[in-house]
């Protein structure tokens, strides 16, 4: 079991512990923050703030915990493509369902309220 750090065989980036520690600290603070801001009513801003904080937290995890910052670009492209498709899917589904919502019968659910 080799314990020494051999640069020639080394594949992948080694992340320093202080950096990992800094990231987890930031994640904790952001978690507290996202709960804290729900105490304030900012109308429709609330969900954007909550999601914004989640995106920052996610980015920290992806970039540092998941090594993407030092990884081959193709892996990042894979991630971004999948996220783009998620947005595409959500975007069209929201656009359409909002547009036909007025045609729906409010509260229609005969098996729930017969």
Partner 1 sequence: MTDSHGSEGHPAHLQHHFDNSRQQFSASKLGMWLFLATEILLFAGLFVAYAVYRSNHPEIFIYAHYFLDTKLGGINTMVLLLSSFTMAWGVRAAQLGQRKLLVALLSLTLLGGFGFLGIKYVEYEAKWKHGLLWGTNYNPESHDDHTGADEHAEEVEEAPTAPETGAPDRLNLEPTVVPPSATGPAGTVPPGEGLPHGQGAEPDNVHIFFGIYFLMTGLHGIHVLVGMSLIFWILLKSIGGAYGPKYFTPVDLVGLYWHLVDLIWIFLFPLLYLIH
Partner 2 sequence: MSTAATTPDSNYLNVTKGALSWLLTLDHKRIGILYLVSILSSFFLGGMMAMLIRTELLTPGDTIMTADQYNQVFTLHGAIMIFLFIIPGIPAALGNFVLPLMLGAKDVAFPRLNLMSWWLWITGAFIAVASILINAVDTGWTFYTPYSTTTGTSVTLIVTGVFILGFSSILTGLNFIVTIHKLRPKGMTWFKMPLLLWGLYSTAIIQVLATPVLGITLLLLAMERVMGIGIFDAALGGDPVLFQHFFWFYSHPAVYIMILPAMGVISELISVFSRKHIFGYKFIAFSSIAIAVFSFLVWGHHMFTSGQSELVNMIFSALTFSVSIPSAIKVFNWLATMYKGRIQLDTPMLYALSFLFLFTIGGLTGLFLATLATDIHLHDTYFIVAHFHYVMFGGTVIAFLGGLHYWWPKMTGKMYNEKLGRIASVILFVGFNVTFFTQFVMGSRGMPRRYFHYQEQFTSLNQLSSVGSYIMAVAFFMIAGYLLHSLAKGRKAPANPWGANSLEWHTPSPPPFDNFDREMRGVDPYDYTGWKYDESIEGYVPVGGGDGTRDSRAV
Partner 3 sequence: MIGFLSTTGAGEPSFWLPSQSSTIAQRVDSIWEFIFWLSVFFFALVVVLGARFALKYRAARGQGTVATTDHNTVLEVVWTVIPTLLVVVLFWIGFRTYIDMSTPPENAYEIQVTGQKWQWLFTYPNGYVDENLHAPVNTDVVLVMTSEDVIHSMFIPAFRTKQDVVPGRYSKLWFNATETGEFDIYCAEYCGTSHSDMGAKAIIHPEGEYEPWLKDASNLHGRFPPVEIGEKYYKRFGCKQCHSLDGGAGIGPTFKGLYGTMERLSGGGSVLVDENYIRESILNPQAKVTEGYSPVMPTYQGRFNDQDITAIIEFIKSVE
User: From partner 1, partner 3, partner 2, none, which one binds at residue 73 (CB under 5 to 8 Å depending on kind)?
Assistant: none
The answer to the question of residue 113 lying near partner 3 (CB under 8 A) is no
Which residue, 60, 64, 56, 66, is CA-closest to 33?
Answer: 56
The answer to the question of residue 84 lying near partner 1 (CB under 8 A) is no
Compose the 51-90 pattern: x for residues touching partner 2 by CB under 8 A, - for all others.
Answer: -----------------------x------xx--x--xx-
Burial of 80 by CB count in 10 Å (0-12 exposed, 13-18 middle, 19+ buried)?
Answer: exposed
Place of tokens 């990042």: 76
């Amino acid at each position: 079991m080799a314990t020494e750090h051999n640069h020639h065989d080394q594949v992948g980036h080694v992340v320093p512990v202080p950096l990992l520690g800094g990231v987890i600290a930031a994640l904790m603070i952001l978690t507290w923050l996202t709960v804290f801001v729900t105490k304030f009513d900012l109308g429709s801003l609330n969900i954007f703030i909550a999601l914004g904080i989640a995106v920052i937290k996610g980015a920290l995890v992806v970039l540092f915990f998941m090594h993407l910052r030092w990884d081959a670009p193709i892996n990042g492209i894979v991630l971004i493509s999948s996220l783009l498709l998620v947005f595409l899917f959500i975007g069209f589904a929201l656009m359409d369902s909002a547009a036909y919502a007025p045609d729906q019968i409010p509260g229609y659910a005969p098996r729930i309220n017969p």
